[in-house]
């Protein structure tokens, strides 16, 4: 357990940051899920719109430090590949 004031403050900061990051991660998952639902339905227009939102949210999470930049890029690339496959069909 934290023993000095600096360590106690660090624990408080970490707790606050964890809450914020949890909300950001949840938001990213929501946008990705919307894309996946549109993709599963086969709706290319809705999937395109959802892809734009998901891409934006993923890159925002990368900028905020919630996700590593390679993770964000990988996820965007995989979503883009799915979208391309849907539009080609």
- Are 86 and 47 within 8 A, CB to CB? yes
User: How many domains is the chain built from?
Assistant: 1
* Mean predicted lDDT score pLDDT of the chain: 95
Residue 29's closest CA among 50, 13, 45, 44?
A: 50
Domain boundaries, position 71: 5-88
Q: Residue 14 is part of a domain; what is its CATH number?
A: 1.20.58.110
Residue identified by tokens 């894309």 is: 35
pLDDT at 43 over 80: yes
Alpha carbon distance 86, 75 (integer Å): 17
pLDDT of res. 55: 98
Residue 47's closest CA among 89, 15, 5?
A: 89
Q: What is the DSSP string of 29-45?
A: HHHHHHHHHHHHHT-HH
Mean pLDDT calculated for residue range 28-44: 96
The per-residue pLDDT for range 45-83, each reduced to its tens digit, is 999 999 999 999 999 999 999 999 999 999 999 999 999
């Amino acid at each position: 357990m934290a023993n000095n004031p600096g360590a106690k403050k660090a624990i408080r900061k970490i707790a606050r940051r964890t809450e914020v990051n949890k909300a950001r991660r949840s938001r990213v998952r929501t946008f990705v899920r919307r894309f996946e639902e549109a993709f599963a339905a086969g709706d290319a227009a809705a999937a395109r719109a959802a892809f734009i939102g998901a891409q934006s949210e993923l890159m925002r999470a990368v900028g905020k430090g919630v996700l590593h930049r390679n993770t964000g890029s990988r996820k965007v690339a995989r979503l883009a590949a799915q979208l391309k496959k849907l539009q080609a069909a």
